[in-house]
């Protein structure tokens, strides 16, 4: 069975400093993994996705994530945080042909001026 | 191109009243999802449609919740009667499919408050 764990419910960073949002997955076979962002009162927007091609995935707004099979991780990073990055971030896994998505519990990112 | 459209954006009702939410997916997307999102939590799948067929409704509380997608395009999610615990955001999403479901495009959600 697929499961996704986001290790931090809240992360605070100062503007201009790096962002690290952690996600671990467990799956009996190679998953597809996604990061979505949700701004207040908005729908979820795809940041990036991993589908067994390159292990380093670049997304929108300067975000990237690296799939590490040995660590079963898919952490989201950004070199320099911007105030507009403040939002809720969800790590999402998909496995098998059933098109079933498993959402992590979310990480609230706060960016301090 | 228009994204996923949901209505109403906000709804306040008293318990035991009925409520319905409507979703119009992106044109050409065969797969439609309804998710429930409680405050501070990730979305949880209620039902997934492939065209007009409900292929995964195992998490839908069928005693009070119902959904339909009669022509394989737009969809309606109904709750009757609503309970206090149903207060949440109801998200609709659609995708064009693909081996792992492809990218999901989400609407802005319908926020339900049950008093």
Residue of A45, A25, A35 lying closest to A95 (CA atoms): A25
- The span from the CA of B39 to the CA of A72, in Å, is 28
CB burial of B45-75 (b: ≥16 within 10 Å; e: otherwise) equals bbbbbeeeebebbeebeeeebbbebeeebeb
Closest residue on chain B to A10 (Cα): B40
Cβ within 8 Å, pair A106-B42: yes
Q: Which two tokens stand for residue A80?
A: 């320099």
Cβ within 8 Å, pair A99-B41: no
Domain extents for chain A?
Answer: 3-112
Closest residue on chain A to B89 (Cα): A41
Instruction: Dump the DSSP string for A18-39.
Output: -EEE-EEEE-SSPPEEEEEEE-
Residue of B103, B101, B81 lying closest to B19 (CA atoms): B81
User: Residues of B with CB below 8 A from A43's CB?
Assistant: 3-4, 91, 93, 106-109
- The span from the CA of B50 to the CA of A11, in Å, is 37
Average pLDDT over chain B, rounded to an integer: 91
B25 close to A (CB below 8 A): no
Please report which confidence band the pLDDT of residue A95 belongs to, taking 50, 70 and 90 as the band edges: low
A1 close to B (CB below 8 A): no
Which comes out higher in pLDDT, residue A110 or B57?
A: A110
Instruction: Taking residues A79-94, report their average pLDDT.
Output: 94
Q: Supply φ then ψ for residue B71, to 5 degrees.
A: -105, 10
Residue B100 predicted with pLDDT over 80 = no
- The span from the CA of B44 to the CA of B47, in Å, is 9
- Helix H or strand E segment including B1: none
Distance of CA B65 to the CA centre of its chain: 11
Domain extents for chain B?
Answer: 5-114
A15–chain B nearest CA distance, Å: 24
B112 close to A (CB below 8 A): no
Interface A:B, Cβ pairs < 8 A: 55
- Helix H or strand E segment including A4: strand A3-6
Report pLDDT digits (tens) over B69-97: 988 899 999 999 999 999 999 999 998 86
Name the H helices within chain A.
none
- The span from the CA of B68 to the CA of B49, in Å, is 9
Which comes out higher in pLDDT, residue A42 or A38?
A: A38
Topology classification of domain B5-114: Immunoglobulin-like (2.60.40)
**Of the options 1.10.3720.10, 3.30.420.40, 3.40.50.300, 2.60.40.10, the CATH number for the domain spanning A3-112:** 2.60.40.10
Instruction: Taking residues B53-81, report their average pLDDT.
Output: 92
Residue of A45, A101, A106 with shortest CB distance to B101: A101
Q: Which two tokens stand for residue B36?
A: 């429930």
User: How does DSSP classify residue A85?
Assistant: G
Please report which confidence band the pLDDT of residue A32 belongs to, taking 50, 70 and 90 as the band edges: confident
- Helix H or strand E segment including B111: strand B110-114
Residue of B84, B95, B80, B9 lying closest to B45 (CA atoms): B95
A49 close to B (CB below 8 A): yes
């Amino acid at each position: 069975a697929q499961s996704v764990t986001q290790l931090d419910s809240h992360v605070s960073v100062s503007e201009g400093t790096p962002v690290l949002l952690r996600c671990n997955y467990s799956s009996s076979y190679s998953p597809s993994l996604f990061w979505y962002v949700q701004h207040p009162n908005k729908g979820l927007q795809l940041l990036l996705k991993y589908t067994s091609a390159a292990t380093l995935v670049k997304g929108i707004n300067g975000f990237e994530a690296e799939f590490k099979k040995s660590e079963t991780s898919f952490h989201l990073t950004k070199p320099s945080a911007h105030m507009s990055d403040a939002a809720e971030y969800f790590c999402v896994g998909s496995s098998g042909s059933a098109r079933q998505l498993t959402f992590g519990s979310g990480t609230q990112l706060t960016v301090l001026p | 191109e228009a994204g996923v459209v949901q209505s109403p954006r906000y709804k306040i009702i008293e318990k035991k009243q009925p409520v319905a939410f409507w979703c119009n997916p992106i044109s050409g997307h065969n797969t439609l999802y309804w998710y429930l999102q409680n405050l501070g939590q990730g979305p949880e799948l209620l039902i997934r449609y492939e065209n007009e067929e409900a292929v995964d409704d195992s998490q839908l509380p069928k005693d009070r919740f119902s959904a339909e997608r009669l022509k394989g395009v737009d969809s309606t999610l109904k709750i009757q009667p609503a309970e206090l615990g149903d207060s949440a955001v109801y998200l609709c999403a659609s995708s064009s499919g693909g081996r792992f479901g492809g990218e999901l495009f989400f609407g802005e959600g319908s926020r339900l408050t049950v008093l």
